[in-house]
Amino acid sequence: MTRLTDALDAWLPTALDRAKEIKPEPRVEHVGTVLTVGDGIATVAGLPDLRSEELLRFGNGVLGMALMLDVDRVGCVLFGDDAGIAAGDRVHGTGAVVSVPVGDALLGRIVDPVGRPLDAGPPVAAERFDPVERDAPAIVDRDLVAEPLQTGLMVLDSMFTIGRGQRELIIGDRSTGKTTIAVDTIINQRASDVISVYVSIGQKSSATRQVVEAVRRHGAFERCIFVIAQADSAPGLQWIAPFTGMTIAEYFRDRGADVLIVIDDLTKHAAVHREIALLLREPPGREAYPGDIFYLHARLLERAAKLGAKRGGGSITALPIAETQAGNLTAYIPTNLISITDGQIVLDAKLFYEGQKPAVDVGRSVSRVGGKAQPAALRTVSASLRLDYAQFLELEVFTRFGAMVDDRTRRVIERGRRIRSILQQGPSAPWPLAFEVALLLGIASGALDTVPLETMDGFKAELRPWLAARLPVVIERINGGAKLADDDRTALVTAVTALAAKLAPAAPAGESP
């Protein structure tokens, strides 16, 4: 007992001195009460000073975001499981809007929409935290879209060129190759300085894994960022996923970099927004979507732009994806997105099942930037390609009914079939610019007219090493963006003609190929 008393006597003066050093300060906490919870949605009361999109912290540590502010209650979406939340629980307002980590440490990482790693790696070392909702660049801060973003896909680069800073919608029925086009575009940036951001919204884990592995095997994975909100993720995470991806892209854009963002897909994002709105009892509109669905996607995609030199000259090129039902482009969400974006790549299920891949419908697809951003060498040789192909498709319809055609029409049809053949391309194998130019020169010069259709795949496979071995300087110059000089044109036509003659069978004189 004596020892205990001595210890207390020795400790008490020290404790009193420490207590005197403590300076109590008032701290304001915004505390509310959960009224209802379920389906990833919670209704909260007692937070009159809450801001829109403010971050909330529930008693079990789950975070949420205030989405609907009413007079006496707040509707919020949860960023985690609601199993540990019940009516009557306390909820704290943080005073901060929802923000995500940004910085170079995100390159080569797979994260969820709030920046938590999904790749078994360490936590992201963020340079700073930026809000997911930011204003789009003003008109005076923007510049003309005049620099190409090469997709490596012949059908797009030659007829529907995408420029850096453009918003090009990829739209079509389910399983027609929409994601494949976007992923091939990401893979093709391995030869450029473009940083790629892929946003997955409500996709199956297996589909997302295939995308990641394709980029890991064929692309520059170290310059890619993956923001994943899987189908079983909380609705709140799926809702903020595209905004998170855009915020991450803006960090690099503001430093003068060019960024490509793929949003896969906005149809599922619209469905999540409708689900949240209905659970929060917002009045439904057309197809039960709330009235702000157009504004939701417009304010998101408007953030993709090419900045002027005073703002660093960076750009964000957006490739949003949308799904149609039975090819119906007049549905509510497709028409909204078509009116927001700068063009659309329409994929046709009939073409896909006929083996035409990418299954791009050239009649309904359009790029509102087009030739203004097309590389000079490609623009020279593809000026009439779309018109020639359209004429072929129209003439081919008549031949299906057994109509008699003259020699001139037959030559047009045979050349059109070869155009269709060079537009076919396998996945994860984008083509360099010089190879596309060489193929188009082969069509324009008639060099490919002697190559049988059944050997066109073999011809394309052999052409790349053939050109690399014979014209390395020309190939490098064209891939670098130089104009197509007359000598380069002659050299390419000669090389293509020589390979065509090597592969083509000997035909009797006067017989058409």
Residues 385 and 260 in one domain: no
Q: Could you tell me if 281 and 353 lie in one domain?
A: yes
Give the DSSP H or E segment for 491. helix 486-503
- Segment holding 380, helix H or strand E: helix 376-381
201 and 289 housed in the same domain: yes
Over the range 228-262, which residues count as b (16 or more CB within 10 Å of their CB) and which as e?
bbbeebbbbbbbbbbbbbbbbbbbbbbeebbbbbb
Q: What is the pLDDT of residue 371?
A: 75
Looking at residue 5, its pLDDT comes to: 60
Asked if the structure places residue 18 within a domain, the reply is no
Quick check: is 190 catalytic?
Answer: no
In a shared domain, residues 75 and 112 = no
Query: Does residue 461 form part of some domain?
Result: yes
| Secondary structure letter of residue 430 according to DSSP | P
Q: Is the pLDDT of residue 8 over 80?
A: no
Indicate if 384 and 443 belong to the same structural domain.
yes
- Do residues 87 and 151 both lie within one domain? no
Q: How many domains does the chain have?
A: 3
Among 324, 339, 374, the domain-final residue is: 374
pLDDT one-digit tens code per residue, 246-303: 999 999 999 999 999 999 989 999 999 999 999 988 889 899 999 999 999 999 999 9
Beta strands in 243-300 (DSSP E): 258-264
Domain assignment of residue 390, yes or no:
yes
Same domain, residue pair 48 and 150: no
SS3 307: strand
77 strand-pairing partners = 41, 65
Cis peptide before 264 (omega within 30 of 0): no
Instruction: Report angle CA 412, 418, 423 to the nearest 5 degrees.
Output: 125
Is 8 within a domain?
A: no
Q: Are residues 361 and 241 in the same domain?
A: yes
Write the CATH number for 221.
Answer: 3.40.50.300
pLDDT in tens, 441-465: 999 988 898 888 888 989 999 999 9
Which DSSP string corresponds to 1-26?
A: -HHHHHHHHHHHHHHHHHHHH-----
Contacts of 220 (CB under 8 A, 6+ apart): 189, 190, 196
Give 199's strand partners. 227, 263
- What proportion of the chain, given as a percentage, has pLDDT over 90? 60
Please state the separation of Cα 189 from the chain's center in Å.
Answer: 13
Classify residue 77 as left (phi > 0), alpha (psi -120 to 50) or beta: beta
Considering 325, 358, 374, which residue would you say is the last residue of a domain?
A: 374
pLDDT digits (tens, 9 = 90+) for 34-78: 999 988 899 999 888 888 888 999 888 889 999 888 888 899 999
Q: Is residue 342 part of a domain?
A: yes
411 and 348 in one domain? no
Q: State whether 243 and 263 are in the same domain.
A: yes
Q: Which domain holds residue 80?
A: 30-97
Residues 366 and 460 grouped into a single domain:
no
Name which of 223, 219, 166 is nearest 193 in CA terms.
223
Looking at residue 481, its pLDDT comes to 86
Final residue before a domain boundary, out of 326, 346, 374: 374
Active-site residue, selected from the candidate residues 368, 411, 464, 470: 368
Alpha-carbon gap, residue 406 to 385, rounded angstroms: 22
Q: Are residues 192 and 88 in the same domain?
A: no
The DSSP result for 88-111, as a single string, is T-EEEEEEEE-EEEESGGGTTEEE
**Per-chain mean pLDDT for the chain:** 88
| Tokens 């394309």 sit on residue | 460
Q: Report if residue 351 sits inside a domain.
A: yes
With vertex at residue 17, the alpha carbon angle to CA 12 and CA 21, rounded to the nearest 5 degrees, is 145
Burial of 181 (0-12, 13-18, 19+ CB in 10 A): buried
Does residue 114 form part of some domain? yes
What whole-number distance in Å separates Cα of residue 411 and Cα of residue 352?
26
The CATH code of the domain that includes 469 is 1.20.150.20
With beta carbons less than 8 A apart as the criterion, state whether 327 and 151 touch. no
Q: Which strand (E) or helix (H) includes residue 55?
A: strand 54-58
Q: What integer pLDDT is reported at residue 2 of this predicted model?
A: 58
- Is the model's pLDDT at 15 over the cut of 60? no
> Which tokens hold the place of 144?
């003309």
Question: 354 lies in a domain?
Answer: yes
What is the reported pTM? 0.90
